[in-house]
Amino acid sequence: MLIFFKRFNFVLLIIIVSLTLGLINFKNSIPDEPLNLKSSDAVIVLTGDRGKRIEKGYELIFKTNFDKMFISGVGGSKTVLQKILGLDENKVDCCIEFGYKAENTYQNAVEVRLWSLENNINSIILVTTDLHMQRSLFLFQQITNLDIQPYPVAYKDTVIPLEKLFSEYIKYLISRIVFIKKYED
């Protein structure tokens, strides 16, 4: 019985060390905001972060030649977003489309895939928070056939709370495990 507990403790230690090293690597791999963006067919924004992501996406289409934006995972109406964020009505009417079906990152990728197929989109700039970018980028690469340029927006806090970092890391690991399992069968 004592040997079992020693082995169990050793395995538990290996798991904890692996998770800790993986978490450190995940933290160190959080991307910075890009400096140069190449031409793209559309800007894709994943909702969240109290509109900060949408504002960044809007700046991209307003200040550059990227003239098409799709906002995935919209929970409210287009009019409410326009008023809250102060978006130009003409710019919204000509250049911004809204997706209302996605409730998580996986569904965002599926929603964007369908939208991109309908609109003949081949390359995108993906806008989400830096903390969320690794998982988003991974899922988008698995689900869509798009050329993706990440555009991370700084997380709202300068110091990311450990529980938020750990939560996003676990979601990232689960996403990777789900897709490994899916493609092994």
**Residue at 5 is within a domain:** no
CATH for 130 = 3.40.50.620
* Number of folded domains that form the chain: 1
Residue 13 — pLDDT band, cuts 50, 70, 90?
confident
**Residue at 21 is within a domain:** no
Give the residue among 120, 131, 140 at the shortest CA–CA distance from 158.
Answer: 131
**Residue at 6 is within a domain:** no
**Residue at 118 is within a domain:** yes
**Residue at 3 is within a domain:** no
**Residue at 15 is within a domain:** no
**Residue at 9 is within a domain:** no
What proportion of the chain, given as a percentage, has pLDDT over 90? 28
Tokens of 92: 């919204």
- Residue-number span of the structural domain to which 66 is assigned: 31-184
Model confidence pLDDT, tens digit, residues 111-166: 999 999 999 999 999 999 888 899 999 999 999 989 999 998 887 666 778 888 88
**Residue at 25 is within a domain:** no
pTM assigned to the model: 0.82
pLDDT of residue 8: 76
pLDDT of residue 184: 46
pLDDT of residue 144: 93
